[in-house]
Structure 1
Amino acid sequence: MLGALTLAFTGFGALLPLAHADDDAAGFPSKPVHIVVPVATGGSADKLTRLIAQGLTERWGQSVVVENLAGASGTIGAARVAKAPADGYTLLQQGEGLTLNGILFDRLPYDGQKAFTPVIQAVVNPQILVVNPKTGIADFRSYLARAKAQPQSISLGLPGNGGIAHVAHEMIAQDTGAQVNYIPYSGGGPATVDVLAGHVDATLITLAAVTDHVRAGKLRALAVTTAYRSSALPNVPTMAEAGLPGFSVESWQGYFAPAGTPAAVVAKINRDIQAVISTPETRAKLEDMGFKVTGGTPADLARTLAGERLRYAKAIQTAGIALR
């Protein structure tokens, strides 16, 4: 799948100048645009997409509707977009989950090699390990110590079975021997609610989903997965600093259109999302949430997909994670 995408978009990048004059995008959009978010409301992907949708609505003069279609590790929402007309009016929000699902599932309700056209990578962000303060876990080292000394004693809410948080924690487990009790959820929002309520001890989740709760003291942040600290929570150490040298996992969020969407329409959506996330007001909001704005071309996103597959495939195979 990824090799095909990379080859396709190497050529696509060269055609972008021609796409500006293409009539396919001249009147786009002339009706509401729908963005499918394949996880539950309240998580980081939902917050990001609603902010972008607001900016696009203002820019286009057409409603941009966010649809949350959670389930089956994001494949239900992805299938909805894969089957939509290739006209740019139905888009998919996805991140590294698109790569992970292609590795994890034996069968998908869409052709992973041909179903989607990359539009833009909007942001990158750390995953952050947080606990309910009542657990008594003070820092990342004590979290690892308890998970090693008392296997399965820590319950960890997963924002999606087989998602980046699951894979990242398995990479932690492979490096340290720490074992926790995974509790899968349909998204970051529901997982966070249960950690806040004390029903679950911890979650590893996109930083932007829990920034406000950490600042308010409702959740205790132990460490971020990236090699760098987040400016949104600068006092939270990296896992490499906190006891796991060399560890680094960076998550991302982007947007896709159904395969066959006219190149000029893809180029217009790319330019306009780039414009929205680049405004000082929106950039400041995203950075305050914990995102790092990236942007870039469809070809850049295709290269990201190709590059991450090998690393995650190895971790998944070692952990024996499989979805059906």
Structure 2
Amino acid sequence: MTFTRHTLRRSAIAALALTALTFATRQHAAPDPAARFPTKPVRIVVPVAPGGSADKLTRTLAEKLAVLWGQSVVVENVAGASGTIGAAKVAKAAPDGYTLLQQGEGITLNSILFRDLPYDTNKSFTPVIKAVVSPQILVVHPGTGIKSLHDYIARAKAQPESISLGLPGNGGIAHVAHEILSQETGAKVNYIPYPGGGPATVDVLAGHTNATLITLAAVTEYVRAGRLRALAVTTSYRSPALPDVPTVAEAGKLPGFSVESWQGYFAPAGTPPDIVAKINRDIQAVLKTPEVRAQLEAQGFKVAGGSPADLATSLQSEHPRYAQAIKAAGLSLR
């Protein structure tokens, strides 16, 4: 075969075209790091003891995310110091999306209550999603003889500190909510802090403490079974999970009383935005499945969702209110 200059030229052009096509194909097929995420197990740090509402929520999501991602999702309980030990652990983790922090309004409360933290609340974390919102609920052991919020307030005023109230975390949202109640009614109780909702619930079930104010989802099953008596929820609305339980505003004749807690997820600061966005989308996808939504709503949660920016805005808006309540109560943690 005789190669002319024209033939060689056409061959060269064809070769260049093939090379360009191959390169473009490879570029198009090159996997986006965010699209491939995760390629190894993901760890979610829950900064309270097992058994409480935060733990239940996270384990529900972890199970479904593991199926969606095809990777293990490990829930690690790191309790202590009102959640700051677990938060500090995540703050120091690699910002790659493989270590997440479960937190709620406690992340704001701790920034107000603690003089020195092992992390900078405003700079150490990247908001991912507000997953759910929920009332706090005041429950008592049936053996106390307290049958209503009116009874509870009356006893706490007539016999100050005679009621022992287990707190799922010193300085947490339950503590702040009860302080607001105390400021408005004059009721005084004996606060007993626990490292989480699970241990606090166990002791009131056993009668070692008289009451607890806790996220509704942590005790719904015990109220339904009659093992705990529910007095009121802290939100402005009743919970569909326990529709017969009145609000504090209703039962205590305290118009405008409202405290709503939430649970969400954070990543270490510096985590790539596309990774944060993917985790947000995938958690929302799990929350929207009928099975998970029904399961969470039956426990007393209300699915929230929204973008990372929505969570950041929520953090900014709640800080002034809680700071005012904490200052009025004279609360501080070292």
In which range does the TM-score fall when normalised by the shorter chain?
A: over 0.9
The residue aligned with 1:279 is 289
Residue among 88, 91, 98 paired with 2:97: 88
Distance 1:122 1:237 in 2: 25
Query: What letter is aligned with 1:158?
Result: L
User: 1:280-321 deviations in whole A, cap 9, x for unaligned?
Assistant: 000000000000001000000001100100000000001110
Pick closer, same or farther for the CA change 1:51–1:229 going to 2, 3 Å.
same
Q: Could you tell me how far apart the structure 1 residues matched to 2:33 and 2:121 are?
A: 26
1:122 match: secondary structure: strand
Q: Which consecutive unaligned segments of at least 5 residues does structure 2 have?
A: 1-29
Q: Equivalent of 1:75, from 79, 84, 96?
A: 84
* 1:268 match: 278
2:240 corresponds to which residue? 231
Q: Give secondary structure in 1 for the equivalent of 2:36.
A: coil
* Aligned pair partner of 2:132 in 123, 147, 160: 123
Match in the other structure for 2:206: 197
Q: Deviations over 1:68-115 (max 9, x none)?
A: 000000000000000000000000000000000000000001112210
Per-residue deviation at 1:187?
A: 0.2
Taking the aligned partners of 2:290 and 2:121, their CA distance within structure 1 comes to 36
8 Å Cα contact 1:270/1:297 also seen in 2:
yes
Who is 1:245 aligned against?
255
- How does the TM-score come out when normalised to structure 1? 0.93
1:245 Cα deviation after fit: 2.0
* 1:26 CA displacement: 2.8
Instruction: Please state if 1:33 is matched with 2:48.
Output: no
Task: Tell me if 1:305 matches 2:319.
Answer: no
Deviation by residue 1:238-270 (Cα, 9 ceiling, x = unmatched): 001101222100000000000000000000000
Give the 5 Å matches for 1:212-223. 212-223=221-232
Matched, 1:291 2:291: no
Unpaired runs of 5+ residues, structure 1, are 1-20
Larger radius of gyration: 2
SS of the residue corresponding to residue 319 of structure 2 reads helix
Write the distance in 2 (CA, Å) between the matches of 1:309 and 1:230. Answer: 25
Q: Percent identity?
A: 76
Secondary structure of 1:284 counterpart: helix
**Equivalent runs, 1:56-205 vs 2, <5 Å:** 56-205=65-214
Q: Give distance in 2, aligned partners of 1:230 and 1:58.
A: 30
Contact 1:22 1:264 in 2 (8 A): no
Is the 8 Å Cα contact of residues 24 and 262 (structure 1) preserved in structure 2?
no
Higher relative contact order (CA 8 A, sep 6+): 1
Contact 1:123 1:291 in 2 (8 A): yes
Question: Could you say what secondary structure the match of 1:91 adopts?
Answer: strand
Moved over 6 A (4+): none
Shift of the alpha carbon at 1:22?
9.3
TM-score (norm 2): 0.90
Please, which of 54, 68, 91 is the counterpart of residue 63 of structure 2?
Answer: 54
Q: Which amino acid aligns with 1:226?
A: T
* Counterparts of 1:252 and 1:27, CA distance in 2: 30
